[in-house]
Amino acid sequence: MLTRAVGVFRLNEILSREPEIFTYNIEDDDLYLVMGTDGLIGFISLEEIFNYFNTHQKESNISLAEGLVNLALNKNSSDNVTAIVLNLRTLVQGPFPEDKCTI
């Protein structure tokens, strides 16, 4: 289902104002969280993202996100192309070892 932040009433039958929400427990071996619009995810496979991150490990989150956007644009994505990358290794842990971050 396509979603929009602000609904367009004449498109209510094909668009929803309700976002798709997924819950995922972050595991010790998870390195990054990547969020992207359909203009990104529709043009770059998970394998391509994995390979890109493997060859650009030392780059900042911003540089990684920009690189993913450029990959999608180079594949002729004409939709909204947005990427957000979080390096999970840099997240601050809670005061207790059993604290886990849930997204």
CATH of the domain at 90: 3.60.40.10
* 13 lies in some domain: no
Host domain of residue 42: 22-103
Residue 46 CB neighbour total at 10 angstroms:
9
Kindly report, residue by residue over 19-35, the tens digit of the pLDDT: 778 788 888 888 899 99
Mean pLDDT of 11-24: 71
- Domain assignment present for residue 3? The answer is no
In a domain, 10, yes or no: no
Strand-pairing partners, residue 87, are 32
Tell me how many domains the chain contains: 1
Answer whether residue 4 is part of any domain.
Answer: no
- 47 domain residue, yes or no: yes
pTM of the model: 0.71
User: 57-85 burial by CB neighbour count: b if 16+ within 10 A, else e?
Assistant: eebebeebbebbbebbeeeebeeebebeb
Report which residue type is found at 4: R
48-77: per-residue pLDDT in tens?
999 999 999 889 999 999 999 999 999 999
Within a domain: residue 92? yes
* 61 domain-assigned: yes
